[in-house]
Amino acid sequence: MKKICLMAILVFLFMIIGTGCSQKKVSEKFNGKGYMEDDIELPFDQDREKAISFVKVKKSQMYLYSREKESGDYHIYELLKDHSWKKKSESGLTEFFKNVTYEPRIIESGLDGNIYMLYFDDDYLPHIAKQQGNTIEEVFIEDLKKDGSEQQPVYPNGIKSLEDGRIIISYDSEKGAVLYDREGKKIRRFDKWELGVNVTKNIGVCPGLFLSVNDSGTGFCLYDIESGDKKNEIKVGELAGHSYLKEGGGQDFFFLNDEGIHHIMADGSIVETIIEGDEMPALKLDQETVSFEIGDNNSFYVMFQKSGNASLKYYNYDKKQRKEDPTILKMAGLAKSNTIQQAITEFEKKNPDVKIEYQDYGETKDRTTLSDTIRIINTEVLAGEKGPDLIILDGLPADAYAAKGALLDLSVIADEMEGELGLLDNLSLQKDNKGRIFSISSRFGVPFLIGNEDAIRQMESLDSLEKYLNRTDADQIIESDIYEKIAQNIFYMYYNDLKAASFGEQDLEQYINVVMKLVRKTGAKSREEGREEDKNMFRLGFPSNTGKYRVAIEEMKSVMDLSLPVTFQGKYEAQVKTIKSLYTPYDMVGIHAASEHMDEAKEFIRTLLSKKMQSLELGEGFPVIRQTFQDLKPVESDVEAMVEGDEEDQIITFKQADEAELEEFKKIAVELKHPLIVDTIIEELMMDQMNRVYAGSASSSVAARELASKIRLYRSE
């Protein structure tokens, strides 16, 4: 497990968290209204080549560093003014790093005109390299020298060079930041208590001055490099420690966080927001920021990375691109996924005169309950012209909307999608009783049962599971310490069966009894307040690596997720089976029948189903378009994921699905026939009664009777 801990230290996942500016002075010219977020296409196939860093090497020269996944060869590309690319000499990078497994963690341009790189060798020891023109060499730093067989206990997480070649290195330890001379010998240390907990990407230099986040994370401290004395402290609000700081020339600095891009002067005379976070949709996605650079005329470049794939965004002020009073498309739903956010960004980019306003449960949960929120949405949907234009139907009573004529027929969009650009044949389009299509999903998941073959057989139905659990020799079969997860996962498994039986009292009582038997077997307790819930619909238990009579329920939403079933099937002979031929549709979108902006709403759905959006890997489900799904490729990763096995000292090392295993999964996925579309109100009614039984305030029969009655009343409304 030592290797896992070391890797955790070295993986710098920069999660951008917002901060407000207590002295915010917004520039009249650059107030965010005229900034646009644009994609810059990378100059290589990311299946074969990995983007490492995007670096401003001179005043107007931008370089992209990359590495081929198979050969390990390095490449450098220059970004030209028209945002095309020109391949440069790799300046000996491949030869220098030929015996190093991992690419550099940090690549920085120094004030002395050279490029500095922080990298780790295969023993996880840190080194600094300097690229000067067409040569590259290691830089001696006395604190990084390995002392005998003892491993160096400090790890650098930031590096800056001065005009004369001296270097400042920040450390992920109480060592703080240290100034070294040109020979790598320590000159002075900047105290840790003045540098905060984690100064990664939060240090900057300008002639004679060193800038770093303060200890409380509410601003930046400015130091005189020669004396080490603190000269100034600039307050910018809470959590400045999670900002990405960058030099802008002279005494100008810029920092990036969830609230946008901000500008400060070293003397504190200016603290202003250049781009509001709302103008940077990519910031809202769950991805790592690996590079932040300042371009000409207050333009900015940000490179993001997720699951090994990078995207380069360009932010440029152009007032002509914005209309003062754009057309507003209203969108409603219980939650806004990253998939929907990306589609909104792409749609608004192509249609600058249209803006989408999304109202989701996340914005109202502090003011009302989930049930009340759904009732508010129901009222708005059925209110005619005042309703939303677009509706994300996940968890909502879409059938009821369609039955009352509140949803537009989307057949024209479905008919456009033919051949390889059509929807997968097995995915059912939601239709009303007249055969009109009222909803199209943009992603889907595949739930699996993984474990002992006979144990999986016991879970084929509520009848078989109840019969097994009534046996005196019944094993635990499922491993979980959270009662709510058991109740929800078992409910999802048999939801379609319960719905087909009109949520009858007898069937609901059987479901409640099965859940309580599993709870008693596992000793599961109620979820602690504040404990984060799983984003996956299905996730319960963990498979056995020793053949124990145990089953895990797990949903596949990305190629990376397949590592769990292929590892246990290949290494530990576990069985992997689908659940009643179920698949889980996500981001099901419909258009309000009374919308005044039907053409724009249809265009949004086309954007959502476009090749560009379908090709995104966000871990929120597989693409629904035939060609994009069949084009899925295996994940290439040099990071090993490991967990403890059933027995002491057993370690399970996960492997990614290879091409043959991925193709087998595709064959399984395209045969699934039954969508699982859960009505959130019914689920909440179920959990209310389930909680009464768990707390001992109601018997299963009383709870089932009340639940059946409330569901009947709700469905009749």
- What Å distances lie between residue 632 and 376, 587, 614, 657, CA to CA? 39, 20, 11, 12
- The strand pair at 437-451 and 622-623 is best described as antiparallel
pTM for the complete prediction?
0.67
Q: What are phi and psi of 8, to 5 degrees?
A: -65, -35
131, part of any domain: yes
- Helix 598-608 × helix 338-350 angle, to 10°: 120
Confidence of residue 335 (pLDDT cuts 50, 70, 90): confident
At 330, the amino acid letter reads: K
Whether pLDDT at 7 is above 50: no
Q: Which residue has the tokens 């915010």?
A: 24
Confidence of residue 129 (pLDDT cuts 50, 70, 90): very high
Confidence of residue 251 (pLDDT cuts 50, 70, 90): confident
Residue 5 CB coordination number (10 Å): 9
Element (H, E) at 301: strand 300-306
413, part of any domain: no
- What Å distances lie between residue 353 and 280, 326, 350, 423, 613, CA to CA? 17, 5, 9, 30, 21
Q: What are phi and psi of 92, to 5 degrees?
A: 80, 10
39, part of any domain: yes
Kindly give, in sequence order, each residue whose CB lies less than 8 Å from that of residue 472, ignoring residues fewer than 6 positions away. Answer: none
pLDDT for the residue numbered 361 = 63
245, part of any domain: yes
605, part of any domain: no
> What proportion of the chain, given as a percentage, has pLDDT over 70?
88
**Three-class HEC string of 658-676:** CHHHHHHHHHHHCCCCEEC
pLDDT in tens, 254-272: 999 888 898 888 887 778 8
Residue 11, SS3 per DSSP: coil
Can you tell me the distance from the alpha carbon of 97 to that of 122, in angstroms, rounded to the nearest whole number?
A: 11
Q: Which of 305, 300, 301, 280 is nearest to 290 (CA)?
A: 305
Can you tell me the distance from the alpha carbon of 135 to that of 93, in angstroms, rounded to the nearest whole number?
A: 8
- The strand pair at 582-591 and 674-675 is best described as parallel
Q: What are phi and psi of 652, to 5 degrees?
A: -100, 120
Element (H, E) at 168: strand 167-171
Domain end marker among 317, 336, 371: 317
Q: Which domain holds residue 283?
A: 35-317
Confidence of residue 382 (pLDDT cuts 50, 70, 90): confident
Contact between 335 and 350 under an 8 Å Cβ cutoff? The reply is no
222, part of any domain: yes
474, part of any domain: yes
pLDDT for the residue numbered 387 = 81
pLDDT in tens, 390-423: 999 999 999 989 999 999 999 999 888 888 888 9
Number of domains present in the structure of the chain: 2
Can you tell me the distance from the alpha carbon of 238 to that of 247, in angstroms, rounded to the nearest whole number?
A: 21
Whether pLDDT at 155 is above 90: no
pLDDT for the residue numbered 366 = 60
Can you tell me the distance from the alpha carbon of 675 to that of 150, in angstroms, rounded to the nearest whole number?
A: 57
Can you tell me the distance from the alpha carbon of 406 to that of 520, in angstroms, rounded to the nearest whole number?
A: 45
DSSP classification of residue 70: T
Counted residue by residue, the chain has a size of 717
> Within its chain, how far is the Cα of 104 from the centroid?
23
Q: What is the CATH number of the domain that holds 306?
A: 2.120.10.30
DSSP classification of residue 151: P
Region of poorest pLDDT, from 362-366, 584-588, 589-593: 362-366
- What Å distances lie between residue 708 and 401, 626, 715, CA to CA? 22, 40, 11
Whether pLDDT at 8 is above 50: no
pLDDT for the residue numbered 669 = 96
Element (H, E) at 212: strand 209-213
26, part of any domain: no
Q: Which of 365, 403, 361 is nearest to 382 (CA)?
A: 403
Whether pLDDT at 584 is above 50: yes
At 188, the amino acid letter reads: R
Residue 109, SS3 per DSSP: strand
Whether pLDDT at 28 is above 60: no
Domain end marker among 317, 334, 367: 317
pLDDT for the residue numbered 286 = 75
pLDDT in tens, 486-505: 999 999 999 999 999 999 99
**Strand extents, DSSP E, 308-462:** 309-317, 327-332, 354-359, 390-392, 430-431, 437-451
Long-range (24+ apart) CB contacts under 8 A made by 7-15 are 7/124, 7/639, 9/155, 9/172, 10/105, 10/120, 10/124, 10/155, 11/639, 12/105, 12/157, 12/200, 13/288, 14/200, 14/201, 14/242, 14/244, 14/288, 14/289, 14/290, 15/242, 15/288
Confidence of residue 11 (pLDDT cuts 50, 70, 90): very low
DSSP classification of residue 329: E
Q: What average pLDDT does the segment 66-71 reach?
A: 93
DSSP classification of residue 243: S
Can you tell me the distance from the alpha carbon of 118 to that of 141, in angstroms, rounded to the nearest whole number?
A: 12
At 650, the amino acid letter reads: Q
705 vs 651 pLDDT, higher one: 705
Region of poorest pLDDT, from 9-18, 495-504, 672-681: 9-18
Element (H, E) at 713: helix 700-716
Q: How many CA atoms lie within 13 A of 549 on its CB side?
A: 12
Residue 649, SS3 per DSSP: coil
Burial class (CB in 10 A: 0-12, 13-18, 19+), 710: middle
Cα dihedral value 237, 291, 52, 610, nearest 10: 100
pLDDT for the residue numbered 696 = 96
Q: Which residue has the tokens 């056995």?
A: 544
pLDDT for the residue numbered 229 = 86
Contact between 262 and 21 under an 8 Å Cβ cutoff? The reply is yes
Full DSSP string of 121-132: -TT--EEEEEEE
Whether pLDDT at 20 is above 50: no
Q: What are phi and psi of 633, to 5 degrees?
A: -115, 155
Kindly give, in sequence order, each residue whose CB lies less than 8 Å from that of residue 440, ignoring residues fewer than 6 positions away. Answer: 410, 413, 414, 423, 429, 430, 588, 589, 590, 605, 609
Domain end marker among 280, 300, 317: 317
Confidence of residue 231 (pLDDT cuts 50, 70, 90): confident
Element (H, E) at 245: strand 244-249
Whether pLDDT at 454 is above 90: yes
Written as six digits, the tokens of 641 are: 């994921």
Written as six digits, the tokens of 254 are: 């810029």
Residue 461, SS3 per DSSP: coil
Can you tell me the distance from the alpha carbon of 622 to that of 307, in angstroms, rounded to the nearest whole number?
A: 15
> What proportion of the chain, given as a percentage, has pLDDT over 90?
52
- What Å distances lie between residue 76 and 57, 201, 296, 494, CA to CA? 12, 22, 21, 54
pLDDT for the residue numbered 681 = 92
At 73, the amino acid letter reads: D
Q: What average pLDDT does the segment 457-477 reach?
A: 93
Contact between 505 and 456 under an 8 Å Cβ cutoff? The reply is no
